[in-house]
Structure 1
């Protein structure tokens, strides 16, 4: 037997060093995930899977089955979608398992995770998907020069420096961004208030409740119907 067949023992610190290195590599590519998440929200991917789960006796679905619900069908759609599903699963937005299909071949199947469910609309219209769109699309130019916001002594309002006006003035002039902002607050607000009402009992037994804030009164409605 050759001496080359002797197994080499790695030092105990090697796995920890590998973990640190891989974590740094992930950070280097960290800008990719927000783009993929935004694409998934734009494609209504979370709602598509939620509807499949609620209307089928199956709880998990292949990339081909999910892709069949998307517009612009083409031969590469399922394969491209699966690459997106890989990434979203690695961030725990989906659960992934293996099953044997009708052809006797193994395939990955996916289901919404408890985290991913927050990006699908619930029965009350709550979802964090529009909030993700706001942060990604509405504020994306803010992230391009964060360094200046730190080291420039004259940069006291980074939003105004980037967009030319304070946030609310800019929103008034940009109808599309205003729509995105209003949609994000309208659909994320119910989720937050639902959590508040689950834990906070201070509204119980009161005879008068006045809403003096902005918006359209959704928080007040949730309190009254609790």
Structure 2
């Protein structure tokens, strides 16, 4: 029979798993078809194992009874209270149904197994509330990241080295901050950033064990915000997206959605490219952002992609300050992508197509097709939007940025890129490299 050993096993290894299964049932995230098949298999297993007795173990409960009996008992309780949940088919699994009822009726296990549907519903509602509050306060994260980068905290932690941890007092001293309250203020900010994984942390007890303090270190992500050996990082791009000038675009999003147009154009009276040609400071900062992003991205691409190795002439279309072409054996040819494109073994477009509408992309790709040789190709480096938005992906954020600043510009799905390739006359589209489900290298083959 059920005893203290089984109860200990239950509390240590099973409780949380059963709770998760129950939440899946109540939130309708369980695969019903898979559940039905599992129940039919268990019905056969019970018939064989129980040998006509009450439990899988015969007359005595065993671990299988505890695991599955509690879940089925909960389902029966849920079906009695919630009319929209119908999972058990008594006709298909009569033995399991009877077994679950008998199991939950045992005095020895009452109060141990979670069978209160109302409590589970409340727990789920509380989780939803907490997640909602995270959305309410979501603006705090980029603000605190911006602060930690600007003040120099990220540089201090990165310079300390991977796996090294510093106290907030040590960090304040390295930044030459004399305010005696700074270490305490830092700790409040840093523990928040650590909770989001931007910083690492380690707990440290005082010598007498009476207090616990936190030490902080650089996460792997921090290293992308500190200048590398080439003097580049992603901090300029981060600052561009979060400065007042770009945030002003948000004030015109509603107008753009309701009445048409682009938020950036409405906010500043011209397109982002026109603005960059008039404001030399903005143009310089924008080019620094693109240069840094290209340096970091291309380094990752060149570590895995071999498509550049056989090329004698690579045409870099819309290549900014020309970083991509600073490669041995590649000839630089000047041209205007919407007027004419010079001939070469291949044409490269990095972060270009997402700036333009489908019609403009097709026009540009057709010009590429016309100038390429028989076996030529266009190498396109862009993010690819997943069909299902079930996991956070920076390409979604990039798509919103395109929506805000470029008329017709957008990130695209694989199907949309294949459609562009076909309409422009290319025979096929290959995707030889995808970096972290974010940046992809595509080859438009003539």
TM-score (structure 1 length as normaliser): 0.81
Residues 1:17 and 2:129 aligned together: no
| Cα distance change of structure 1 residues 147 and 98 upon mapping to structure 2, 3 Å threshold | same
Which residue in 2 is equivalent to 1:74?
A: 179
2:230 to 112, 121, 124: 124
SS at match of 2:265: helix
Which residue in 1 is equivalent to 2:135?
A: 27
SS at match of 1:61: coil
Residues 1:89 and 2:194 aligned together: yes
Which residue in 1 is equivalent to 2:307?
A: 202
Which residue in 1 is equivalent to 2:144?
A: 36
CA distance in 1, matches of 2:278, 2:151: 27
| Cα distance change of structure 1 residues 213 and 171 upon mapping to structure 2, 3 Å threshold | closer
CA distance in 2, matches of 1:196, 1:89: 30
Which residue in 2 is equivalent to 1:134?
A: 240
Report the CA distance between 1:145 and its aligned residue.
3.9
CA distance in 1, matches of 2:237, 2:222: 14
Which residue in 1 is equivalent to 2:251?
A: 144
Which residue in 1 is equivalent to 2:406?
A: none
| Cα distance change of structure 1 residues 72 and 109 upon mapping to structure 2, 3 Å threshold | closer
Residues 1:192 and 2:297 aligned together: yes
CA distance in 2, matches of 1:206, 1:88: 45
Report the CA distance between 1:130 and its aligned residue.
0.9
CA distance in 2, matches of 1:125, 1:171: 23
Contact persistence 1:92–1:116 (CA under 8 A): no
CA distance in 1, matches of 2:131, 2:305: 38
After superposition, what is the alpha-carbon deviation per residue over 1:174-213, rounded to whole angstroms, capped at 9, x for unaligned? Answer: 3432232122112221111112222321012333445454
SS at match of 1:11: helix
Which residue in 2 is equivalent to 1:112?
A: 218
Contact persistence 2:287–2:321 (CA under 8 A): no
Residues 1:178 and 2:286 aligned together: no
Which residue in 2 is equivalent to 1:218?
A: 323
Residues 1:46 and 2:151 aligned together: no
TM-score (structure 2 length as normaliser): 0.43
Report the CA distance between 1:66 and its aligned residue.
1.3
Report the CA distance between 1:143 and its aligned residue.
2.0
Report the CA distance between 1:72 and its aligned residue.
4.4
Gaps of 5+ in 1: 1-8
| Cα distance change of structure 1 residues 79 and 224 upon mapping to structure 2, 3 Å threshold | farther
CA distance in 1, matches of 2:305, 2:257: 38
Which residue in 1 is equivalent to 2:40?
A: none
Question: Which protein is bigger by CA-based radius of gyration?
Answer: 2
Gaps of 5+ in 2: 1-115, 330-446
CA distance in 1, matches of 2:277, 2:192: 36
Contact persistence 2:264–2:271 (CA under 8 A): yes
C-alpha RMSD of the superposition: 2.6
Report the CA distance between 1:160 and its aligned residue.
1.0
CA distance in 2, matches of 1:81, 1:69: 13
SS at match of 1:107: strand
After superposition, what is the alpha-carbon deviation per residue over 1:127-155, rounded to whole angstroms, capped at 9, x for unaligned? Answer: 1111100000141111234222212x2x3
Residues 1:100 and 2:208 aligned together: no
Which residue in 1 is equivalent to 2:164?
A: 59
CA distance in 2, matches of 1:49, 1:201: 35
SS at match of 2:321: coil
| Cα distance change of structure 1 residues 198 and 101 upon mapping to structure 2, 3 Å threshold | farther
Which residue in 2 is equivalent to 1:166?
A: 271
